[in-house]
Protein backbone atom coordinates (compact mmCIF):
# COMPACT_ATOMS: atom_id res chain seq x y z
CA UNK A 1 0.00 0.00 0.00
CA UNK A 2 1.37 3.40 -0.99
CA UNK A 3 2.01 6.26 1.43
CA UNK A 4 -0.74 8.23 -0.29
CA UNK A 5 -3.35 5.65 0.73
CA UNK A 6 -1.87 4.54 4.06
CA UNK A 7 -1.67 7.97 5.74
CA UNK A 8 -5.42 8.79 5.50
CA UNK A 9 -6.26 5.33 6.86
CA UNK A 10 -4.00 5.78 9.88
CA UNK A 11 -5.41 9.27 10.43
CA UNK A 12 -8.93 7.86 10.76
CA UNK A 13 -8.15 5.17 13.36
CA UNK A 14 -9.19 5.93 17.00
CA UNK A 15 -6.30 6.69 19.34
CA UNK A 16 -6.92 3.68 21.57
CA UNK A 17 -6.59 1.36 18.56
CA UNK A 18 -3.43 3.18 17.45
CA UNK A 19 -2.04 2.66 20.94
CA UNK A 20 -2.77 -1.07 20.69
CA UNK A 21 -1.28 -1.31 17.21
CA UNK A 22 1.79 0.57 18.43
CA UNK A 23 2.12 -1.84 21.34
CA UNK A 24 2.16 -4.79 18.95
CA UNK A 25 4.50 -3.14 16.45
CA UNK A 26 6.90 -1.95 19.16
CA UNK A 27 6.94 -5.42 20.71
CA UNK A 28 7.97 -6.74 17.30
CA UNK A 29 10.81 -4.21 17.14
CA UNK A 30 11.98 -5.55 20.51
CA UNK A 31 11.43 -9.30 20.07
CA UNK A 32 13.37 -9.63 16.84
CA UNK A 33 16.98 -8.57 16.07
CA UNK A 34 16.00 -5.30 14.40
CA UNK A 35 18.27 -2.33 13.80
CA UNK A 36 16.14 -0.27 16.19
CA UNK A 37 16.62 -2.78 18.99
CA UNK A 38 20.38 -2.95 18.48
CA UNK A 39 20.81 0.85 18.59
CA UNK A 40 18.46 1.13 21.57
CA UNK A 41 20.52 -1.32 23.62
CA UNK A 42 23.77 0.40 22.65
CA UNK A 43 22.43 3.79 23.77
CA UNK A 44 21.06 2.39 27.01
CA UNK A 45 24.42 0.78 27.81
CA UNK A 46 26.13 4.13 27.23
CA UNK A 47 23.63 6.46 28.88
CA UNK A 48 22.19 4.39 31.71
CA UNK A 49 24.98 1.93 32.65
CA UNK A 50 23.69 1.40 36.19
CA UNK A 51 20.58 -0.41 34.98
CA UNK A 52 20.45 -4.14 35.61
CA UNK A 53 20.06 -6.41 32.58
CA UNK A 54 16.37 -6.89 33.42
CA UNK A 55 15.77 -3.16 33.81
CA UNK A 56 17.50 -2.53 30.49
CA UNK A 57 15.34 -5.14 28.75
CA UNK A 58 12.16 -3.63 30.16
CA UNK A 59 13.15 -0.07 29.31
CA UNK A 60 14.14 -1.05 25.76
CA UNK A 61 10.81 -2.79 25.25
CA UNK A 62 8.76 0.14 26.57
CA UNK A 63 10.81 2.64 24.56
CA UNK A 64 10.32 0.76 21.29
CA UNK A 65 6.60 0.45 21.99
CA UNK A 66 6.36 4.20 22.56
CA UNK A 67 8.38 4.84 19.41
CA UNK A 68 5.97 2.73 17.38
CA UNK A 69 2.99 4.51 18.95
CA UNK A 70 4.52 7.87 18.04
CA UNK A 71 4.97 6.85 14.41
CA UNK A 72 1.41 5.55 14.12
CA UNK A 73 -0.08 8.62 15.84
CA UNK A 74 1.48 11.21 13.54
CA UNK A 75 -1.06 10.93 10.69
CA UNK A 76 -3.94 11.37 13.15
CA UNK A 77 -2.21 14.35 14.78
CA UNK A 78 -1.72 15.98 11.39
CA UNK A 79 -5.51 15.85 10.90
CA UNK A 80 -6.66 16.76 14.44
CA UNK A 81 -9.33 19.42 14.75
CA UNK A 82 -8.89 22.46 16.98
CA UNK A 83 -11.36 21.08 19.51
CA UNK A 84 -9.58 17.72 19.64
CA UNK A 85 -6.17 19.30 20.20
CA UNK A 86 -7.56 21.38 23.04
CA UNK A 87 -9.30 18.37 24.57
CA UNK A 88 -6.43 15.87 24.51
CA UNK A 89 -3.60 18.12 25.80
CA UNK A 90 -3.02 18.94 29.46
CA UNK A 91 -0.33 21.59 30.04
CA UNK A 92 2.10 21.69 32.96
CA UNK A 93 4.18 24.84 33.43
CA UNK A 94 2.13 27.13 31.21
CA UNK A 95 3.00 30.07 33.47
CA UNK A 96 6.63 29.81 32.33
CA UNK A 97 5.54 30.41 28.75
CA UNK A 98 3.51 33.47 29.62
CA UNK A 99 6.30 34.90 31.77
CA UNK A 100 8.70 34.44 28.86
CA UNK A 101 6.45 36.26 26.40
CA UNK A 102 6.07 39.13 28.87
CA UNK A 103 9.78 39.86 28.36
CA UNK A 104 9.09 40.57 24.65
CA UNK A 105 12.27 38.87 23.45
CA UNK A 106 10.79 35.74 21.95
CA UNK A 107 10.65 32.19 23.29
CA UNK A 108 12.68 29.17 22.17
CA UNK A 109 11.19 25.74 22.79
CA UNK A 110 13.89 23.07 23.05
CA UNK A 111 11.96 19.90 22.17
CA UNK A 112 13.81 16.58 22.65
CA UNK A 113 12.69 13.39 20.90
CA UNK A 114 10.61 12.50 23.92
CA UNK A 115 6.95 11.47 23.92
CA UNK A 116 5.16 12.77 20.83
CA UNK A 117 6.79 16.07 19.86
CA UNK A 118 4.31 16.63 17.00
CA UNK A 119 1.66 17.54 19.57
CA UNK A 120 3.80 20.46 20.70
CA UNK A 121 3.65 21.94 17.22
CA UNK A 122 -0.12 21.56 17.18
CA UNK A 123 -0.55 23.20 20.58
CA UNK A 124 2.03 25.94 20.02
CA UNK A 125 0.82 27.04 16.58
CA UNK A 126 -2.78 26.99 17.76
CA UNK A 127 -2.06 29.56 20.49
CA UNK A 128 0.99 31.57 19.32
CA UNK A 129 2.80 32.71 16.16
CA UNK A 130 5.28 29.86 15.70
CA UNK A 131 8.28 29.14 13.48
CA UNK A 132 10.03 25.76 13.26
CA UNK A 133 12.98 24.36 11.37
CA UNK A 134 11.98 21.66 8.89
CA UNK A 135 14.09 19.14 6.98
CA UNK A 136 12.21 17.98 3.85
CA UNK A 137 11.39 14.30 3.39
CA UNK A 138 13.08 13.93 0.00
CA UNK A 139 12.60 10.16 -0.12
CA UNK A 140 8.81 10.49 0.01
CA UNK A 141 7.27 13.60 -1.55
CA UNK A 142 3.81 12.41 -0.50
CA UNK A 143 4.87 12.12 3.14
CA UNK A 144 6.63 15.49 2.92
CA UNK A 145 3.49 17.21 1.65
CA UNK A 146 1.35 15.48 4.28
CA UNK A 147 3.61 16.62 7.14
CA UNK A 148 4.00 20.14 5.77
CA UNK A 149 0.27 20.70 5.42
CA UNK A 150 -0.41 19.12 8.82
CA UNK A 151 2.15 21.19 10.71
CA UNK A 152 1.17 24.44 9.02
CA UNK A 153 -2.61 24.21 9.16
CA UNK A 154 -2.90 26.19 12.43
CA UNK A 155 -0.55 28.89 11.17
CA UNK A 156 2.91 27.52 11.98
CA UNK A 157 5.71 28.60 9.66
CA UNK A 158 8.21 25.95 8.53
CA UNK A 159 11.64 27.19 7.45
CA UNK A 160 14.54 25.25 5.90
CA UNK A 161 17.64 24.20 7.83
CA UNK A 162 19.89 26.69 6.04
CA UNK A 163 20.93 30.33 6.41
CA UNK A 164 17.55 31.59 5.21
CA UNK A 165 15.84 29.48 7.88
CA UNK A 166 18.17 30.79 10.58
CA UNK A 167 17.40 34.37 9.52
CA UNK A 168 13.70 33.55 9.79
CA UNK A 169 14.23 32.30 13.35
CA UNK A 170 15.99 35.51 14.36
CA UNK A 171 13.18 37.52 12.80
CA UNK A 172 10.54 35.52 14.67
CA UNK A 173 12.28 36.03 18.02
CA UNK A 174 12.67 39.75 17.35
CA UNK A 175 8.89 39.86 16.86
CA UNK A 176 8.43 38.09 20.24
CA UNK A 177 7.20 34.89 18.64
CA UNK A 178 7.67 31.20 19.40
CA UNK A 179 10.51 29.20 17.86
CA UNK A 180 10.75 25.40 18.07
CA UNK A 181 14.00 23.42 17.74
CA UNK A 182 14.85 19.75 18.30
CA UNK A 183 18.04 20.09 20.37
CA UNK A 184 19.10 16.43 20.36
CA UNK A 185 19.18 16.20 16.57
CA UNK A 186 22.64 15.79 15.06
CA UNK A 187 23.75 19.12 13.53
CA UNK A 188 25.44 19.51 10.18
CA UNK A 189 29.26 19.44 10.04
CA UNK A 190 30.62 22.68 11.45
CA UNK A 191 27.33 23.56 13.14
CA UNK A 192 28.06 21.92 16.48
CA UNK A 193 30.55 21.13 19.21
CA UNK A 194 31.23 18.07 21.30
CA UNK A 195 29.69 18.22 24.76
CA UNK A 196 28.89 15.55 27.37
CA UNK A 197 25.58 13.73 26.99
CA UNK A 198 25.07 11.18 29.78
CA UNK A 199 28.83 11.26 30.28
CA UNK A 200 29.88 10.61 26.66
CA UNK A 201 30.86 13.35 24.16
CA UNK A 202 28.07 13.95 21.65
CA UNK A 203 28.09 16.32 18.70
CA UNK A 204 25.65 19.00 19.83
CA UNK A 205 24.08 21.93 17.99
CA UNK A 206 25.14 25.51 18.73
CA UNK A 207 22.28 27.21 16.86
CA UNK A 208 19.87 27.23 19.78
CA UNK A 209 22.41 28.77 22.12
CA UNK A 210 23.38 31.44 19.59
CA UNK A 211 19.74 32.36 19.06
CA UNK A 212 19.18 32.68 22.79
CA UNK A 213 22.37 34.67 23.33
CA UNK A 214 21.82 37.14 20.50
CA UNK A 215 18.17 37.82 21.20
CA UNK A 216 18.29 37.27 24.98
CA UNK A 217 15.33 34.98 24.45
CA UNK A 218 13.94 32.64 27.09
CA UNK A 219 14.60 28.95 26.49
CA UNK A 220 12.08 26.41 27.73
CA UNK A 221 12.48 22.67 27.47
CA UNK A 222 9.26 21.11 26.29
CA UNK A 223 8.10 17.53 25.83
CA UNK A 224 4.73 15.83 25.49
CA UNK A 225 4.19 12.78 27.64
CA UNK A 226 1.85 10.20 26.15
CA UNK A 227 -0.85 9.09 28.57
CA UNK A 228 -1.79 5.42 28.57
CA UNK A 229 -4.10 3.86 26.00
CA UNK A 230 -4.99 6.88 23.94
CA UNK A 231 -6.17 9.08 26.84
CA UNK A 232 -4.25 12.06 25.51
CA UNK A 233 -1.02 13.91 26.26
CA UNK A 234 0.56 15.99 29.00
CA UNK A 235 2.73 18.84 27.75
CA UNK A 236 5.58 19.80 30.10
CA UNK A 237 7.25 23.25 30.00
CA UNK A 238 10.50 23.53 32.00
CA UNK A 239 12.77 26.60 32.25
CA UNK A 240 16.28 26.02 30.91
CA UNK A 241 19.41 26.94 32.79
CA UNK A 242 20.70 30.38 31.76
CA UNK A 243 23.98 28.71 30.80
CA UNK A 244 22.39 27.49 27.54
CA UNK A 245 23.10 31.03 26.27
CA UNK A 246 26.71 31.10 27.51
CA UNK A 247 29.22 32.77 25.18
CA UNK A 248 31.42 29.67 25.41
CA UNK A 249 29.83 27.23 22.92
CA UNK A 250 30.98 24.15 24.83
CA UNK A 251 29.57 25.46 28.11
CA UNK A 252 26.31 26.31 26.36
CA UNK A 253 26.11 22.91 24.67
CA UNK A 254 26.86 21.18 27.97
CA UNK A 255 24.01 23.04 29.66
CA UNK A 256 21.73 22.19 26.75
CA UNK A 257 22.52 18.48 27.04
CA UNK A 258 22.05 18.57 30.80
CA UNK A 259 18.57 19.98 30.27
CA UNK A 260 17.76 17.23 27.79
CA UNK A 261 19.00 14.65 30.29
CA UNK A 262 16.65 16.01 32.97
CA UNK A 263 13.69 15.67 30.61
CA UNK A 264 14.70 12.11 29.70
CA UNK A 265 15.24 11.08 33.32
CA UNK A 266 11.70 12.23 34.10
CA UNK A 267 10.28 9.82 31.52
CA UNK A 268 12.99 7.53 30.07
CA UNK A 269 10.59 5.00 28.56
CA UNK A 270 9.27 7.56 26.06
CA UNK A 271 12.63 8.73 24.76
CA UNK A 272 13.69 7.86 21.21
CA UNK A 273 16.61 5.62 22.24
CA UNK A 274 16.96 4.18 18.74
CA UNK A 275 18.32 7.51 17.44
CA UNK A 276 22.07 7.47 16.70
CA UNK A 277 22.95 10.30 19.06
CA UNK A 278 26.67 9.40 19.14
CA UNK A 279 27.12 8.71 15.44
CA UNK A 280 29.58 11.56 14.81
CA UNK A 281 32.98 10.13 15.65
CA UNK A 282 36.21 11.75 16.77
CA UNK A 283 39.81 10.54 16.54
CA UNK A 284 39.62 9.15 20.07
CA UNK A 285 36.00 8.03 19.99
CA UNK A 286 34.73 5.85 17.13
CA UNK A 287 31.02 5.51 16.54
CA UNK A 288 29.51 2.89 18.87
CA UNK A 289 27.01 1.76 16.23
CA UNK A 290 29.44 0.05 13.83
CA UNK A 291 28.78 -3.67 13.61
The 3-state secondary structure of 165-216, one letter per residue: HHHHHHHHHHCCCEEEECCCCCCCCCCEEEEEECCEEEEEECHHHHHHHHHC
Tell me the pLDDT band of 283, cut-offs 50, 70 and 90.
confident
Q: At residue 159, does pLDDT exceed 70? A: yes
What CATH number is given to the structural domain containing 241? Answer: 3.40.1130.10
Least reliable range by pLDDT among 30-34, 119-123, 180-184, 287-291: 287-291
Question: Comparing C-alpha atoms, which of 265, 251, 263 is closest to residue 204?
Answer: 251
Average model confidence (pLDDT) across the chain:
93
pLDDT at residue 9, rounded to an integer: 84
Model confidence, pTM? 0.94
Taking the C-alpha atoms of residue 222 and residue 94, their distance in angstroms, rounded to an integer, is 11
Residue 5 pLDDT greater than 80, yes or no: no
Contact 134, 127 (CB under 8 A): no
Confidence label for 137 from pLDDT (cuts 50, 70 and 90): confident
Average pLDDT over residues 57-62: 97
Does residue 103 lie within any of the structural domains? yes
pLDDT value for 143: 81
Domain tally, the chain: 1
**Number of helices (H), then strands (E), in the chain:** 11, 9
Euclidean distance between CA atoms 8 and 3, whole angstroms: 9
80-102 pLDDT, tens digit per residue, is 999 999 999 999 999 999 999 99
Which residues neighbour 217 within 8 Å (Cβ) at sequence distance 6 or greater?
A: 100, 105, 106, 107, 108, 173, 179, 211
Tens of pLDDT, residues 172-185: 999 999 999 999 99
Q: How far is CA 281 from the centre of its chain?
A: 22
- Whether 291 is in a domain gets the answer no
281 inside domain: no
DSSP 2-14: -HHHHHHHHHTS-
Whether residue 115 lies inside any domain: the answer is yes
- Mapping DSSP onto H, E and C, the string for 81-146 reads CHHHHHHHEEEECHHHHHHHHHCCCCEEEECCCEECCHHHHHHHHHHCCEEEEECCCCCCHHHHHH
In a domain, 45, yes or no: no
4 pLDDT above the threshold of 80: no
On whether residue 24 sits in a domain, the answer given is no
Is position 197 within any domain?
A: yes
- φ, ψ dihedrals at 223, nearest 5°: -145, 155
pLDDT given at position 114: 97
How far is C-alpha 145 from the chain's CA centre? 20
Q: Is residue 138 part of a domain?
A: yes
SS3 percent helix, strand, coil of the chain, rounded to 5, is 50, 20, 30
The pair phi, psi for residue 224, each rounded to 5°, is: -115, 110
What is the domain extent for residue 97? 82-270
Amino acid sequence: MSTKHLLPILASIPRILLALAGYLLGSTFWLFPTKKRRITYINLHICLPKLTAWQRHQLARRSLINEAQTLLEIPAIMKMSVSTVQRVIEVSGKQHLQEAFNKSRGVILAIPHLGNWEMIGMYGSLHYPMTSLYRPQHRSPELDQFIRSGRQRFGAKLVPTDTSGVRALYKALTANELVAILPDQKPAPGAGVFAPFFGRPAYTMILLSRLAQRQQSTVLFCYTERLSWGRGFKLHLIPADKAVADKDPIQAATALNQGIEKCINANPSQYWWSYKRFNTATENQPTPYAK
